[in-house]
């Protein structure tokens, strides 16, 4: 438990991942699209959880929606990673003095 607490303290006090990276406009747009697909997936999981907790016996109706959202997330993720790899636009930004 102490290791987990230490890990979480490092995570919350650390600089955001990628904060000192510079991206081209297309990379930013692809990253934003990837972020949006993650938010959509989390929302579906939340809706499914609320339905089940609320006594809805048909919580499984979310399974296909979650599956499709996972596919969109995967596609967005690999579009972003492919762009970074082929365009080589991510680089360390100069720090402000």
Question: Measured between alpha carbons, how far is 45 from 27 in angstroms, rounded to an integer?
Answer: 27
Please report whether residue 57 resides in a domain: yes
Domain range spanning residue 59?
29-92
Please report whether residue 6 resides in a domain: no
Question: pLDDT-based confidence at 72, cuts 50/70/90?
Answer: very high
Strand bridging mode 91-92 / 21-22: antiparallel
Please report whether residue 2 resides in a domain: no
The residue among 14 and 67 whose pLDDT is bigger is 67
Q: What is the pLDDT of residues 20-54, one digit of tens each?
A: 566 789 999 999 999 999 999 999 999 999 998 99
Please report whether residue 24 resides in a domain: no
For residue 94, the model assigns a pLDDT of 56
The residue among 13 and 59 whose pLDDT is bigger is 59
Please report whether residue 23 resides in a domain: no
């Amino acid at each position: 438990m102490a290791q987990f607490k230490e890990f979480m303290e490092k995570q919350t006090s650390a600089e955001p991942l990628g904060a000192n990276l510079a991206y081209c406009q297309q990379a930013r747009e692809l990253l934003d699209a990837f972020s949006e697909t993650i938010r959509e997936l989390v929302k579906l999981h939340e809706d499914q959880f609320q339905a089940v907790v609320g006594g809805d016996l048909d919580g499984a109706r979310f399974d296909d929606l979650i599956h499709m959202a996972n596919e969109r997330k995967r596609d967005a993720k690999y579009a972003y990673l492919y762009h970074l790899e082929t365009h080589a636009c991510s680089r360390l930004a100069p720090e402000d003095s």
